[in-house]
Structure 1
């Protein structure tokens, strides 16, 4: 356990505590500091503050960093499709059907299990279950995601996710022929109150924005490209279903009657672009659609 104590002087009066501490601990992002406050790791004059607390002269701030928990998730020799790797990040093309990180009842066969076998180091920010995981995609969604090897890289990538500067493009096959070539869906998302496995359009939920573009139209189906302005759980799946064009194969939000026998929604994270956390230059990774996806598109084109 590591503890730091600060006394606020006149020059820092009025500053937000999360901003103030992120400037002191240059390897920690504001989102990390906010998370530490939520975990009662920061006190001001003996009390837990809010993230937007404005500092006063002579405030006594105590910051406690707990030792990272020892990972107890087993490493497994599972093949990975690695697109890029260096000392700070690993970019992976995840196959459909692979869970990103362990969860109760499913501690094996995940991307994290495979990464622990492949990498000697992963960031510790997300704890023992999600080491290195900056963002995730659903089990039955395939495609590209980036994993952090150290906490500094993790913090910088997380900031890009938070300020929506990370480029994320998805390809999806949806039910129906969409008339408009382009569209924007701006609808708030939150957990479905009647079914906790689902998300839903909920007034007062977190703002969610999806930009979509029709790439091809078929007999009763459309291939679209979705660009995420925000990254909420099941965002594309819920948004497209909300306008009457659910994803093909989606077991939660799709039609009960399906034309194709597939395992889950036809959604692929095709392109991911971001500023490299240490090189400070823009990098972009694009992946091909998986074979099953291409096969179905070929069938639709022939029809």
Structure 2
């Protein structure tokens, strides 16, 4: 991409986070509950924000900790912060005025979160609509991680979004839905063969992590890290893996997912000894880095094909050209 294809780092206008106090939390302290609701910051940090005048209680600025009552409205007025530069262009795969399918570049968040508010695909789509005078904003019907490139479906009409979102939710749980096929660059694994399709059924579960509180991991590896993990949080997950090309320093894999669990491909490939090259969090033998978060990048993962997408009484299929590192030699 050229410089013109990037949105430069810049400050946003800040954001107000709001929380209504439930009856079960009545009588607890303001700073204590802020640390409970927003685990990314410690009680000491919330105390500093309170004293800096960033917290309002029922519309009034407060600077001293106090006990809360059921129904109280707590607002944190987060000051403007610097958002990193992101790719700002993408290939349009399909657009009929309602359905919009794009090839999202790696590095571009889909929706606000993880330190991003304006520098997102949804934010950029909104800007384009305003510049073009278009009243109907295309909104994503599913998600891709910031550093996952490839096919993302958006829709302008509310009814279309509702139908497709429901389909993707069913597919996430493993019910019948569209077929999702990815490409991934992984560490070489001689147990994965070109003439075989490997099936991975390792469940996924949350476990403790020092930087973000909880992360999703393979159930087997979570027991190594958190023996008290509740079994009720275990999610079934199903992936299939096929070796497309064995390289001197990597395996090019095709991964189809029948469920859509958080970070499923990264977790499943690590579980079978094929972690993504450059993945800072999920490593060999179920090892989870305490110095990385799920939102950190460095790996190559691409949503290559979506098949059997129901739209206007037909099943549609879409393909997004892979980045060069994820192309087979015969495709270059």
TM-score, with length taken from structure 1: 0.62
Q: Residues 3-54 of structure 1, C-alpha deviation per residue, up to 9 Å, x if partnerless? A: xxxxxxxxxxxxxxxxxxxxxxxxxxxxxxxxxxxxxxxxxxxxxxxxxxxx
Partner of 1:184: 199
Report 1:101-180 matches (<5 A). 101-103=111-113, 105-119=115-129, 120-122=135-137, 132-161=139-168, 162=170, 163-180=175-192
* CA distance in 1: counterparts of 2:301 and 2:114, whole angstroms: 25
Q: 1:87 to 1:274 in 2, by over 3 A?
A: farther
Q: Contact conserved, 2:189 with 2:273, CA < 8 A, in 1? A: no
Range that drifts further, 174-183 or 233-242: 174-183
Partner of 1:50: none
- Give the CA deviation at 1:275: 3.3
Partner of 1:85: 95
* CA distance in 2: counterparts of 1:201 and 1:237, whole angstroms: 10
* CA distance in 2: counterparts of 1:192 and 1:122, whole angstroms: 37
Q: Contact conserved, 2:88 with 2:108, CA < 8 A, in 1? A: no
Q: Residues 132-168 of structure 1, C-alpha deviation per residue, up to 9 Å, x if partnerless? A: 2221111111101101212211121123221341111
Q: Contact conserved, 2:186 with 2:276, CA < 8 A, in 1? A: yes
Q: Contact conserved, 1:188 with 1:207, CA < 8 A, in 2? A: yes
Q: 1:110 to 1:239 in 2, by over 3 A?
A: same
Q: Contact conserved, 1:175 with 1:247, CA < 8 A, in 2? A: yes
Partner of 1:291: 324
Partner of 1:35: none
- Give the CA deviation at 1:293: 4.0
Residues 1:212 and 2:203 aligned together: no
What is the root-mean-square deviation of aligned Cα atoms in Å?
2.6
Q: Contact conserved, 1:177 with 1:219, CA < 8 A, in 2? A: no
Q: Residues 262-294 of structure 1, C-alpha deviation per residue, up to 9 Å, x if partnerless? A: 9521111100124343x2111111111113544
Give the 3-state SS of the residue equivalent to 2:122 in structure 1: helix
Partner of 1:198: 215
* CA distance in 1: counterparts of 2:315 and 2:271, whole angstroms: 34
Q: Contact conserved, 2:87 with 2:107, CA < 8 A, in 1? A: no
TM-score, with length taken from structure 2: 0.57
Partner of 2:269: 240
- Give the CA deviation at 1:210: 0.6
Give the 3-state SS of the residue equivalent to 2:106 in structure 1: coil
Q: Contact conserved, 2:201 with 2:239, CA < 8 A, in 1? A: yes
Give the 3-state SS of the residue equivalent to 1:198 in structure 2: strand
Q: Contact conserved, 2:183 with 2:326, CA < 8 A, in 1? A: no
Give the 3-state SS of the residue equivalent to 1:240 in structure 2: helix
**Unaligned ranges ≥5, structure 1:** 1-75, 124-131, 257-261, 299-303
**Unaligned ranges ≥5, structure 2:** 1-85, 130-134, 220-230, 290-295
Q: Contact conserved, 1:121 with 1:150, CA < 8 A, in 2? A: yes
Q: Residues 208-227 of structure 1, C-alpha deviation per residue, up to 9 Å, x if partnerless? A: 11111111112342111011
* CA distance in 2: counterparts of 1:237 and 1:118, whole angstroms: 33
Q: Contact conserved, 1:176 with 1:245, CA < 8 A, in 2? A: yes
- Residue 264 of structure 1, aligned match among 285, 292, 298: 298
